[in-house]
Amino acid sequence: MNLNNIHNVYLIGIGGIGMSAIAKYFKLLGCNVEGYDRTKTPLCVELQNSGIKVHYVDDVLMISPVFKEINNKENILIICTPAIPKDHVELNWFLNNGFTIIKRAEILGEITKNYSTIAVAGTHGKTTISICIAHIYTHSGTGCNAFLGGISKNYETNFLHKEKCNTAVVEADEYDRSFLQLSPTSAIITAVDADHLDIYGSFEKVNEAFSDFTKCIKPGGKLLYKKESGFIPPKINAEIATYSVKENADCTITNVTLSKGKFTFNLKTPWGNIDNITPGITGMFNIENVVAAASMCLWEGLSAESIRTALATFNGVKRRFDIQVFNSRNIYIDDYAHHPEELKAFISSVKEVYPDKKITGVFQPHLFSRTRDFADAFGVSLSLLDELYLLEIYPAREKPIEGITSKTIFDKVNITHKYLSTIDELLNKIESNKPELLLTMGAGDIDQYIEPIKKIILS
């Protein structure tokens, strides 16, 4: 595919975190960019404010004529997110009229194949690590082109660009085997857990996909993976190293201290050491992410001092241990955690940083299939809370599964203070109780209630 011939780019599902970054990229190149999304999100509004036309009705008549020129297909690129249903009207119009439609992962692979690309994969942690690496490169002045799976709090964006820069940083998504479209120079694997079983069917298939991903690394490249992940890389033509904050790995930390909610530690790697790192983000699972990012940046040749300085200013990712309220009376933290292992890591980190606080958690399950497949594990993770408000399942791309509701998880939670709740009931409870330490967790639309919750707590 010759991207230089493309002048018009239409994205079906343009408001997604990965799709919107690609829309911004093509807009920057001077292309005419337009798209559809089901919901008007802040990302969609941002795109519209930048001059990109977005509509929210699945109707071919809403598509601008320039994208429907059947005799000019070589200049038109149609990109589709895998979450779009097969009966989507616009999608089928393009298919029936002979347009080439490619998935988001394919175009990301095309964009980055000639870059020196650092790809971050794993069932947990990849967003924070990729954004941290992008911040280190940007803060150091080296710069990078970054396609990110979250919003950087330092730059308020999911896309970073620097002209005449050959380094790319991408989040390598395992959903729908998307990451197999990439050809990175360097890669990180954070964790390989059972997830997306609606796609893979079994953990063995998930593990197999990650093995296949390592084979996508360019010859002579680099692979850094978490030692305790249980993942065993196949034989590949790449240098391999491990990282850990718990075990004796190639990259590890010493002299860890916790003061006023912030960790300080020394990083030891085969490529050099960095002493007295105090990242701007907290939580031990985030420290693990910082170790991966900093180790890879050292391996790539960035200086220890530039990395240490950048980490001190790293503000993290929206919806990742995202502190919304912090005062003498109340703490409110929001997190995207939606898998049992993510919940366990997040809640455990909160307990470590704030050991004397009563923790009230709000969780919105994401997907009926994930609820069904991991009900027991959700029960274990959510039992770490002192109090739980469990919301209805957010279905996303799925239709209901008979017999699967939030109560499927609720019955597995082994704490006294647990409640099935609607959003309205939850807001009323928060207003009357004003929890001293409140967590909201989930990957659905729970983020729409962050501001209302903040206003209630601060009132």
Residue 42, domain CATH:
3.40.50.720
Which residue matches tokens 């919105």?
A: 364
Lowest mean pLDDT among 36-45, 196-205, 218-227: 196-205
Q: Which residue, of 287, 312, 337, is where some domain finishes?
A: 312
Strand partners for 8:
32, 76
Question: Are 382 and 441 in the same domain?
Answer: yes
Kindly tell me if the per-residue pLDDT of 323 is higher than 80.
yes
Q: What is the CATH number of the domain that holds 396?
A: 3.90.190.20
Question: Are 130 and 89 in the same domain?
Answer: no
Secondary structure of 232-251 as H, E, C letters? CCCCCCEEEEEECCCCCCCE
In DSSP notation, 272-332 reads EEEEEE--SS-SHHHHHHHHHHHHHHHHTT--HHHHHHHHHT---BTTBSEEEEESSS-EE
Q: Which residue, of 262, 283, 312, is where some domain finishes?
A: 312
pLDDT computed for residue 275 by the predictor: 97
* pTM, 2 dp: 0.87
366 vs 3: which has the higher pLDDT:
366
Q: What is the mean pLDDT of residues 71-100?
A: 92
Question: Are 42 and 135 in the same domain?
Answer: no
Instruction: Output the six-digit token pair for 363.
Output: 């969780």
pLDDT computed for residue 3 by the predictor: 78
- Distance in angstroms (rounded) separating the CA atoms of residues 1 and 181: 14
- Distance in angstroms (rounded) separating the CA atoms of residues 459 and 457: 6
Three-state secondary-structure class, residue 33 = strand
Three-state secondary-structure class, residue 427 = helix
Residue 173: C-alpha distances to residues 6, 85, 182, 248 (Å): 25, 19, 10, 28
- Distance in angstroms (rounded) separating the CA atoms of residues 254 and 97: 61
Question: Are 125 and 231 in the same domain?
Answer: yes
Question: Are 143 and 204 in the same domain?
Answer: yes
Which residue matches tokens 């990965």?
A: 18
Is 108 among the domain residues? no
Rg for the chain, CA atoms, rounded: 22
In this predicted model, what pLDDT tens digit does every residue of 26-40 receive, in sequence order?
999 999 999 999 989
Is 317 among the domain residues? no
Question: Are 24 and 140 in the same domain?
Answer: no
432: left (phi over 0), alpha (psi -120 to 50) or beta: alpha
Question: Are 194 and 91 in the same domain?
Answer: no
Residue (of 255, 296, 302) closest to 275 by Cα position: 255
Question: Are 155 and 88 in the same domain?
Answer: no
Question: Are 119 and 223 in the same domain?
Answer: yes
- Distance in angstroms (rounded) separating the CA atoms of residues 296 and 277: 15
Q: What is the CATH number of the domain that holds 138?
A: 3.40.1190.10
Per the structure, how many domains does the chain have? 3
In this predicted model, what pLDDT tens digit does every residue of 162-208 receive, in sequence order?
999 999 999 998 877 888 999 999 999 998 876 766 677 787 888 89
In this predicted model, what pLDDT tens digit does every residue of 384-419 receive, in sequence order?
999 999 999 999 878 899 999 999 999 999 999 999
Question: Are 93 and 120 in the same domain?
Answer: no
pLDDT computed for residue 149 by the predictor: 92
Q: Which domain holds residue 432?
A: 322-458
pLDDT computed for residue 66 by the predictor: 94
Q: Which residue, of 277, 312, 347, is where some domain finishes?
A: 312
Torsion 449-403-175-77 (CA) sign: negative
pLDDT computed for residue 330 by the predictor: 95
- Distance in angstroms (rounded) separating the CA atoms of residues 156 and 234: 38
